[in-house]
Amino acid sequence: MEALDRYLKAQASQDAKKRAAAPYVLVSEDNRIAGYYTLSASNIRVDDLPPELVKRLNLPRYPVIGATLIGRLARDLSFRGKGIGELLLIDALRVSLAMSRKIASAAVVVDAQDDNAHRFYLKFGFIVFPDTANRLFLPMRTIEKLFPNPI
């Protein structure tokens, strides 16, 4: 968690200025940072997915398709067990869906940092890339079902 704290304190504003990532911060009622996430443009090589999965998910048949990367997602340890991680993820998915209507994105991608993060994303329906166990994605078509009226 130290690396995530350090990122927010030292790197997030730099990434925003350089347009490398867009940080979103959740502030508690008592004005403490409860958590944050970052979004950036990414892509998926369709060859990295099994053909039957590409067909089942009705993904575009291009060599590379646009995606949105949740580069960082963290919550303050003092907010453990209060649903902050879930709230941050839901907001990241909602924002990603809304932006996908302006700049095409077929999925949201995450890189799970550890087993806990991996289980967290699986719980929300993320699909594991076959050859990269810590990399997961959620098709935008799935996310659309969660938010009939995105921002």
Domain ranges of the chain: 2-146
Inform me whether the pLDDT recorded for 15 exceeds 70: yes
Whole-structure pTM value: 0.89
pLDDT tens digit sequence for 53-85: 888 888 878 899 999 999 999 888 888 888 999
At 139 the three-state DSSP class reads strand
CB atoms within 10 A of CB 21: 21
Q: 80-121, pLDDT tens digit by residue?
A: 888 999 999 999 999 999 999 999 999 999 999 999 999 999
Cα distances (angstroms) measured from residue 26 to each of 62, 73, 103, 123, 147: 36, 11, 24, 22, 20
Nearest of 99, 87, 116 to residue 151 by alpha carbon: 99
The domain 2-146 is placed in CATH, from the list 3.90.1150.10, 3.40.30.10, 1.20.120.420, 3.40.630.30, at 3.40.630.30
Strand partners, 47: none
Sequence-distant (≥ 6) Cβ neighbours of residue 21 within 8 angstroms: 12, 15, 38, 39, 40, 71, 72
